[in-house]
Structure 1
Amino acid sequence: MAQSNCTQVTEFSLAGFTQDPVTQVYLFLLFLLTYLVTIVGNLDIIILIRASHLLHSPMYYFLGNLAFIDLCFSTMTPKMFVDLMSEKKSIAYAGCKTQVFLFQLFGMTEYFLLAAMAYVAICHPLLYPLVVSPKCCFQLVTGSCLVGLTNGVGQTISMSTLSFCSSSTIDLFFCDISPLISLSTSDTTLSHIILTTAASLFGLFSILVILLSYVAIIATILSINSAEGKRKAFSTCTSHLTTVSISYGASFFTYLNPSSRAADKWAVVFYAMSAD
């Protein structure tokens, strides 16, 4: 319940990473390099898939959409660059709400795209280009976007129910629902329920599909007679599984523990950068 004498804030301050100017410069250069690699890499993927008829298969279709979502995810990064080099790090309430919506939208959409790719691999790990139709691919991508949109709208509504009176400093480098819940001076029960439900229901469902796909893929790999073929296949799976583990592990740590502080900040860094 909001306090009767509460004056709702119109602007939030962002704590960022550090107040040390030298460290800020190093972080700026590191994140700028990561941002540029993300932009160029994902654009190259999209252009290459669109230009080559040899890459018009279901898995590359999903990969192209995943690259596009990564580009959308990176739209919040320039604001972080400005804040790293600015003495005053602030964001308007409306801008904060927009960041919550976009981060939750693109984050959940990406997770379900990964799950959709895993589902395709489950069907027939080596024959999916022959059995998965373009219509099925379109439906899976559309469904992923709808789940992401539902999550984004839900978390934005959750933020709208919160009141912020005693403090307006977010202990993070951008607006996200988890630190906002910790910052709120009103009853956060509904927000906790929405956040935990989304992380548990949507997140656990998508990771379960991915894990099942790896069971099917590993079973197929073990049937390969060539030792070199097995080694290459396992190498590919290991690198992809590592990326998925970092992304999901960091996000679950953040959203299932919304009251944590410093550790959350770096967990979100891994979460956001692994998405890129």
Structure 2
Amino acid sequence: MQFVLLGFSDLPKLQGLLSGVFSIIYLIILIGNCLIIIITKMDSALQKPMYFFLANFSFLEICYVTVTVPRILFNIWTQDRHISIMACGVQMCFFLMLATTESLLLAVMSYDRYVAICNPLLYPVVMNPTKCTHLVTGSWLGGIPVQIGQTFQIFSLDFCNSNRIDHFFCDVPPILNLACGDTSVHELSVYVIVMVVGAVPFVLVLTSYSRIIATIVRLPTAKGRGKAFSTCSSHLLVVILFYGSAAITYFRPKYTHSPGTDKLLSLFYTIVTPMFNPMIYTFRNKDVISALRKILLKK
């Protein structure tokens, strides 16, 4: 009735250091993303679709890391690594739903930049408030039925190999490793779902940015090209970090998986990328920096 999340128990001498590092990272993610949400709400110059999507993305990142990091800290602080099957299933389900939302929202944000740069005259009409709300709502709700079904399918398996999960959270690959018998059908369903909610949005992102880059190159002024590249490069960097690490984890053949490699890759798309996102979106965005400066000067 219980699993054991081994996490980083193979590093007994580093438990204090890990606790401090994860606590600091979690605080950075919370403070950074809350700051972005506050700035985009308070500054009238940022009442644009781009920053509406960015505020939603920041709130998503807070939810996304809260699914995993507090559990990691609890395991380190108490050294009690047991987790019930129900709690494990809930954690996996929320993680998969929020990861799907992130994938879809990144595609929506790339579409927003495509319309803004490639069709600037139509931008206010195409990206009107109603459509922006629909796109965000679809991103938040799109993965719920799929990922609930996938989680239910995985946890309907019998687990007899062991109850020890050599990972720091309940992710799909380590859970499937504990299942009895042939899991090839379940692995295939995981690949199909990842293709639909991960690879398809990624292709849409690449398509959008290929057209964006072609348009930027044709801009008449160096200042215009520089501003467009500055706006888009930060988003593209976030896309590469998220999709790249997740794709390597989920698309690798099962026999190439190792606990150490899986943990390292998972750290990138669960913790490291969300930590850098606020920095990428603020330090590389002059409008956000200007809005932050105005708020600080007022205070």
- Is 2:260 the partner of 1:265? no
How many Å separate the matches in 1 of 2:46 and 2:84?
43
| Residues 119, 213 of structure 1: 8 Å contact kept | yes
Assess if the C-alpha contact under 8 Å between 2:72 and 2:169 holds in 1.
yes
* Structure 2 counterpart of 1:102, one-letter code: F
Q: Distance in 2 between matches of 1:226 and 1:22?
A: 57
RMSD: 2.0
**Which amino acid is 1:173 matched to?**
F
Shift of 1:140: 0.9
Counterparts of 2:171 and 2:108, CA distance in 1: 26
* Bigger helix fraction: 2
Of 208, 211, 218 in structure 1, the residue corresponding to residue 213 of structure 2 is: 218
Corresponding letter in the other structure for 1:21: P
Structure 2 counterpart of 1:31: 22
Q: Tell me how far apart the structure 2 counterparts of residues 32 and 109 of structure 1 sit (CA, whole Å).
A: 25
Is structure 2 residue 93 aligned with structure 1 residue 101? yes
Partner of 1:64: 55
What CA distance in whole angstroms lies between the structure 2 residues aligned with 1:124 and 1:237? 11
Give the partner amino acid of 1:100: M
1:73 aligns to 2:64 (yes or no): yes
Name the structure 1 match of 2:295: none
The CA distance in 1 between the partners of 2:170 and 2:218, in whole Å, is 48
Q: How far apart are the structure 2 equivalents of 1:231 and 1:123?
A: 18
Q: CA deviation at 1:106?
A: 0.4
Q: 1:39 Cα shift?
A: 0.5
Partner SS for 2:4: strand
Whether the 8 Å CA contact 1:66–1:113 is kept in 2: the answer is: yes
Alignment of 1:75-90 (within 5 A): 75-76=66-67, 77-90=69-82
1:168-215 C-alpha deviation (Å, 9 max, x unpaired)? 011100111221111111432332122101111221111111111211
Task: Give the whole-Å Cα distance in 1 for the aligned partners of 2:131 and 2:253.
Answer: 37
- The aligned runs of 1:12-23 (5 Å cut-off) are 12-23=3-14
Q: 2:31 aligns with which of 40, 57, 60?
A: 40
Deviations 1:35-54 (A, max 9, x none): 10110111111122222232
Is 2:40 aligned against 1:49?
A: yes
**Cα distance in 2 for residues equivalent to 1:25 and 1:151:** 38
| Structure 1 match to 2:163 | 168
Cα distance, 1:235 vs structure 2: 4.7
> In structure 2, how many angstroms separate the alpha carbons of the residues matched to 1:247 and 1:264?
15
List aligned pairs for 1:176-255, cutoff 5 A.
176-231=171-226, 233-255=228-250
CA distance in 1 between counterparts of 2:241 and 2:38 reads: 27
Identity among equivalent positions (%) equals: 36
Sort the Cα spacing of 1:32 and 1:97 in 2 relative to 1 into closer, same or farther, 3 A.
same
Q: 2: distance between equivalents of 1:225 and 1:271?
A: 38
Q: Tell me, yes or no, if structure 1 residue 145 matches structure 2 residue 136.
A: no
Equivalent residues of 1:107, 1:275 under 8 A apart: no
Deviation at 1:83, TM superposition (A): 1.1
Number of aligned residue pairs: give it: 267
Conserved 8 A contact 2:89-2:170 = yes
The alpha carbon displacement at 1:146 in A equals 2.3
Q: 1:18 offset after TM fit, Å?
A: 4.1
Other-structure match for 2:105: 113
CA contact (8 A) 1:178 1:258 kept: no
Letter of the 2:144 partner, please give it: L
SS in 1 for 2:3: strand
Distance 1:122 1:230, change over 3 A: closer
Which whole-Å CA distance do the structure 1 matches of 2:126 and 2:53 have between them?
15
**Is contact 2:108–2:135 with CA below 8 Å preserved after alignment?**
yes
Q: Tell me the amino acid that sits aligned with residue 119 of structure 1.
A: Y
Change (3 A) 1:56 1:231: closer
